[in-house]
Amino acid sequence: MQLKFPSCLSWYKKPEYRDIKEYATNISSGKRTLSPDGRNGGIPSRLRLERILANKTCPPMSLYDFYMYLKHIEYSEENLEFYIWFKNYEAAYAKGLTIDNKDYRFIPSASQSTSSVAHIKLGDSLTSLEQPESEDDEEDSAEAKETLDRISQMISTTALCASKSGTCAIPAPIHTTSPSKPSSKQSPSTPADPPLASEITTIINLFLLPSSPKELNIPPALRAQALADVRRSTSPTTGLPSPDALRPVAEHAYSLLRNCSHRNFVRLGVGNGTFETVCVATVLGAASLLAGFLLALCRALASPARGARSRWEAWAAWPLWWLGMSLVLSGLRGSCFFLLLFSRRQRLPWERFDDDENRWLGAGGFSLVRSVKRLMIFDRRLKVQERHLRRLQRKIVLQSLAGGSVFATLCVALFIVLPVWRETV
């Protein structure tokens, strides 16, 4: 029987950063294979990707936070958008949603033109579109805008966290398709069937065709096979392809989210302070360590009189070494020790973007003034709502304190045995 140590005793180490573009390119070119399924080191089970995608986590680790990170920091939001759309399309298909054949359009092949989305502007906003040049382009752009709007609604519906209990109440999921406006032949209370078939065409044009506005970084063989399977599995009666045709693409997007984006998201999300705050705290820790060494040396060598000092006075520097190493250990893991003590945090990089206006919400002015304003004493401080993240941060605090005490004790032991004390033998 294998003994397992409690998680609190395992030293927390930040997940290693992985460049998603390099990782995806190497997979597409065959230089490497996908990482096997398994838990990534440094990621608690309660913050795993499955829980985030299921909207079971709270800020700053919610689904919307994950999307904002992908959009503004990693620039790979298309993987999450396609995966969220696919899971909702899969659920809608399982419910037997149908549509009239007149709304069906043939799915283009990989070699065909992408003119249906040629005028979609590649902006940060999901719904920012250029003015189309023709009525057909205007119709296609409107369909693309509606599809992206629905995906945006699904992602932006975040879990609501109760302020007292700290638990999350998951709202009802929003389906991929939304009811269209009732026609004159329909009752206002009876919505029409959603245009799923035309939405499939839009999704293909947006994500799968070469040079698409939100082209997925997938191997060419996988792209060609997916397009062929879509055409082959499309039902003539419903105009809908089987979700199995797009499942390999969705699984590939999920693997990129799991092996790259999620681990990078947790790596950055665990940090509770800005770069400036963490640097200041780490520098204070290094200064405290230096002060401890200077204090021990001064007490050992300052008095020329023999027997004036005792080597046990090295314990006077223990608090400085303990505090200094605790600050350094927290800073090396991207956290501010003082903020961790009170379960507070500063705004993370993706929270400084106004998604509605697509602008950076950082302090303006000169770089020095901007850096000063982002320090802990001047910047806005928020409570960590995600309780599992709070537990992880408290674990970092305790481990930093324990590591600092061990380091300080070793330093005292070293100075005690050094022959630098002018004392009576």
**309 shares its domain with 327:** yes
Cross-strand partners of 382: 345
pLDDT tens digits for range 50-95 = 999 988 899 899 999 999 999 999 999 999 999 999 998 998 888 8
**258 shares its domain with 284:** no
Band of pLDDT at residue 418, cut at 50, 70 and 90: confident
Give me the pLDDT at residue 30, please. Answer: 83
pLDDT tens digits for range 28-43 = 888 888 777 555 566 8
Rounded (10°) CA dihedral 175, 152, 208, 39: -80
The answer to the question of residue 4 being in a domain is no
**30 shares its domain with 149:** yes
Q: How many domains does the chain have?
A: 2
Residue 105 scores a pLDDT above 80: no
Regarding beta strands 381-383 and 344-346, do their DSSP bridges make them parallel or antiparallel, or are they unpaired?
antiparallel
The answer to the question of residue 15 being in a domain is no
Residue 108 scores a pLDDT above 80: no
Tokens, residue 208: 């799968």
**247 shares its domain with 302:** no
Give me the pLDDT at residue 204, please. Answer: 92
Give the torsion sign (CA, 171, 172, 175, 179): negative
Give me the pLDDT at residue 325, please. Answer: 96
**77 shares its domain with 125:** yes
Neighbours of 64 (CB within 10 A): 18
In this structure, which amino acid lies at residue 47? L
Tokens, residue 121: 């502007």
Q: Quick one: which of 14, 24, 61 has its CA closest to 255?
A: 24
State how far the Cα of 259 lies from the Cα of 416, in Å rounded to an integer: 48
297-302: Cβ within 8 A, 24+ apart: 297/420, 300/415, 300/418, 300/420, 300/421, 300/422, 301/420, 301/422
The answer to the question of residue 14 being in a domain is no
Give me the pLDDT at residue 304, please. Answer: 58
Domain range for 375 is 275-417
Residues whose CB is less than 8 angstroms from the CB of residue 389 and which lie 6 or more positions away in sequence, other chains included = 47, 60, 61, 269, 270
Q: Which of 78-82, 347-351, 382-386 has the highest mean pLDDT?
A: 78-82
What number is the average pLDDT over the span 182-202?
A: 52
Q: Examine the fold and report which residue of 270, 304, 322 is the final residue of a domain before the chain moves on.
A: 270
pLDDT tens digits for range 353-366 = 864 445 555 544 45
The answer to the question of residue 3 being in a domain is no
Q: Phi then psi for 39, rounded to 5 degrees?
A: -80, 130
Residue 332 scores a pLDDT above 60: yes
Residue 115 scores a pLDDT above 50: no
pLDDT tens digits for range 139-190 = 667 777 788 788 888 787 544 454 344 444 433 333 333 333 333 343 333 3
What number is the average pLDDT over the span 96-116?
A: 41
**244 shares its domain with 281:** no
Burial class (CB in 10 A: 0-12, 13-18, 19+), 187: exposed
**251 shares its domain with 326:** no
Band of pLDDT at residue 373, cut at 50, 70 and 90: confident
**321 shares its domain with 236:** no
Q: Phi then psi for 381, rounded to 5 degrees?
A: -115, 135
What number is the average pLDDT over the span 101-126?
A: 35
Q: Which residue has the tokens 């005690």?
A: 416
Regarding beta strands 344-346 and 168-169, do their DSSP bridges make them parallel or antiparallel, or are they unpaired?
unpaired
Q: Examine the fold and report which residue of 248, 270, 292 is the final residue of a domain before the chain moves on.
A: 270
Residues whose CB is less than 8 angstroms from the CB of residue 283 and which lie 6 or more positions away in sequence, other chains included = none
Give me the pLDDT at residue 71, please. Answer: 92
Question: Which of the residue ranges 110-114, 132-136, 290-294, 405-409 would you say has the lowest mean pLDDT?
Answer: 110-114
What number is the average pLDDT over the span 288-317?
A: 80
Of 122 and 51, the one with more pLDDT = 51
Give me the pLDDT at residue 342, please. Answer: 83
Give me the pLDDT at residue 185, please. Answer: 40
The answer to the question of residue 184 being in a domain is yes
The answer to the question of residue 12 being in a domain is no
Question: DSSP code of 71?
Answer: I
Question: Which of the residue ranges 69-73, 210-214, 339-343, 369-373 would you say has the lowest mean pLDDT?
Answer: 369-373
Residue 9 scores a pLDDT above 70: no
Q: Express as a percent the part of the chain with pLDDT over 70.
A: 70
**261 shares its domain with 184:** yes
**163 shares its domain with 252:** yes
Give me the pLDDT at residue 113, please. Answer: 34
Give me the pLDDT at residue 145, please. Answer: 76
Under 8 Å between Cβ of 63 and 52: yes
Regarding beta strands 353-354 and 359-360, do their DSSP bridges make them parallel or antiparallel, or are they unpaired?
antiparallel
What number is the average pLDDT over the span 265-285?
A: 91
Q: What is the largest CA-CA distance in the chain?
A: 106
**265 shares its domain with 280:** no
Give me the pLDDT at residue 73, please. Answer: 94
Residues in the chain, overall count: 425
Give me the pLDDT at residue 4, please. Answer: 56
Q: Quick one: which of 124, 121, 127 has its CA closest to 70?
A: 124
State how far the Cα of 349 lies from the Cα of 76, in Å rounded to an integer: 16
The answer to the question of residue 422 being in a domain is no
**230 shares its domain with 311:** no
State how far the Cα of 92 lies from the Cα of 75, in Å rounded to an integer: 29
The whole-chain average pLDDT of the chain stands at 76
Give me the pLDDT at residue 238, please. Answer: 77
State how far the Cα of 346 lies from the Cα of 336, in Å rounded to an integer: 10
What number is the average pLDDT over the span 301-308?
A: 59
State how far the Cα of 175 lies from the Cα of 283, in Å rounded to an integer: 50
The answer to the question of residue 18 being in a domain is no
Give me the pLDDT at residue 183, please. Answer: 38
Q: Examine the fold and report which residue of 216, 243, 270 is the final residue of a domain before the chain moves on.
A: 270
